Amino acid sequence: MAIQLTTGNHIAGTSSKGNQEKWREDSRWYKLDLFGYEGLAETVTPILLAKTTVEALGVRYVSYRMERVEAHRHIRNGCSSPDFLQPGEAILTIADLFRKGVGSDWQKTVSRLPNFPSKIQWMVEQTVRLTGLVHFGAYLTLLFEIDMLFGNADRHLDNVAILRREERFDYCPLFDLGAGLLSNVRDYPMEIAPKALLRQLRAQPLDTTFTRQVHAAEAVYGVQLEWDFDLTDIETPLAEPLRFYAEREMWYICDRVETCIKMQKAKLEW
Ligand SMILES: Nc1ncnc2c1ncn2[C@@H]1O[C@H](COP(=O)(O)OP(=O)(O)O)[C@@H](O)[C@H]1O
Ligand SMILES: [Mg+2]
């Protein structure tokens, strides 16, 4: 029997996971793999997003490419993405927005709300009030659906961002999906079958199942994401990033990625 360790029932504001080393160079952001194949997850996900309705919904996303770099005299895998900020623009996380615009005890207010749809609605209404981004409900729902599709359990509110240029706000391009596709082999070990790992995944920021989180958002803001790809469409985008990893790991990575997308897709279609 598994021993269950539970944390308080609150909306995750920060991640307990370590920080991938990252830096900006020649207008690109570089990010090193830390607990597994984050670079591959980051690279493959946007290629698949191109086969969804994301762009048609007017939401931009960031493309990544694999990198092999020497850092601190060690050869490391990682990925890079073009800097998406325009001059004068900055990223503001939703956690920061709430701290500044609602108060440091905003989590208490949310914890008193009776159910998941009302918690999501509260987050959306505060964001709309503070930024004027009237489609934020649809944007957040889309983000939750994408996280579910790729099994990204790292959507704490420091990973939901908006763009700010002086007093004007805009929707942030989607980025930082590298924690999906079971890429973290410390938290999701290679020796455990991917299906069992996927059953354990918890969705952030509500700390519940992906199904409950997505259904709660869709109940208020409607279904946003549709996609048109199957497992054969994954093989080609996987092939190039896979070459960066050791040959003995390739089969496992492939199996984990494919099982993840297959299972998560089935849950999302249901
Ligand atoms: N392509 C990019 N354009 C602009 N800023 C970026 C880009 N990639 C990363 N950053 C900056 O680095 C921060 C952390 O990047 P992120 O990909 O979210 O890494 P982490 O996995 O550590 O959360 C972002 O909040 C942003 O400030
Ligand atoms: Mg992040």
Dump pLDDT digits (tens) for 24-68. 999 999 999 999 999 999 999 999 999 999 999 999 999 999 999
Query: Of all atoms in ligand 1, which is nearest to the CA of residue 83?
Result: 3
Q: Beta strands of the chain (E only): which ranges?
A: 22-25, 28-32, 65-71, 74-82, 90-93, 161-165, 168-171
User: Which sequence spans correspond to the domains of the chain?
Assistant: 22-269
C-alpha span between 32 and 38 (Å, rounded): 8
Confidence of residue 5 (pLDDT cuts 50, 70, 90): very low
- Asked whether the bond before 117 is cis by omega within 30 degrees of 0, the reply is no
Model pLDDT, residue 3: 44
CA–chain centroid gap for 233, Å, is 21
CB 268 within 8 Å of CB 145:
yes
How many angstroms is it from 155 CA to the middle of ligand 1? 13
Which residue is closest in CA terms to ligand 1's atom 25? 91
**Contact 84 CB / ligand 1 (< 6 Å):** yes
The letter for the amino acid at 166 is: E
Which residue is closest in CA terms to ligand 1's atom 2? 83
Place of tokens 């964001």: 127
**Contact 80 CB / ligand 1 (< 6 Å):** no
DSSP strand pairing (28-32 vs 22-25): antiparallel
| pLDDT tens track for 117-140 | 999 999 999 999 999 999 999 999
| pLDDT tens track for 164-200 | 999 899 999 999 999 999 999 999 999 999 999 999 9
Number of other residues whose CB lies within 10 A of the CB of residue 146? 26
Burial class (CB in 10 A: 0-12, 13-18, 19+), 117: middle
**Contact 85 CB / ligand 1 (< 6 Å):** yes
- Asked if pLDDT for residue 14 goes beyond 60, the answer is no
How many angstroms is it from 159 CA to the middle of ligand 2? 5
**Contact 19 CB / ligand 1 (< 6 Å):** yes
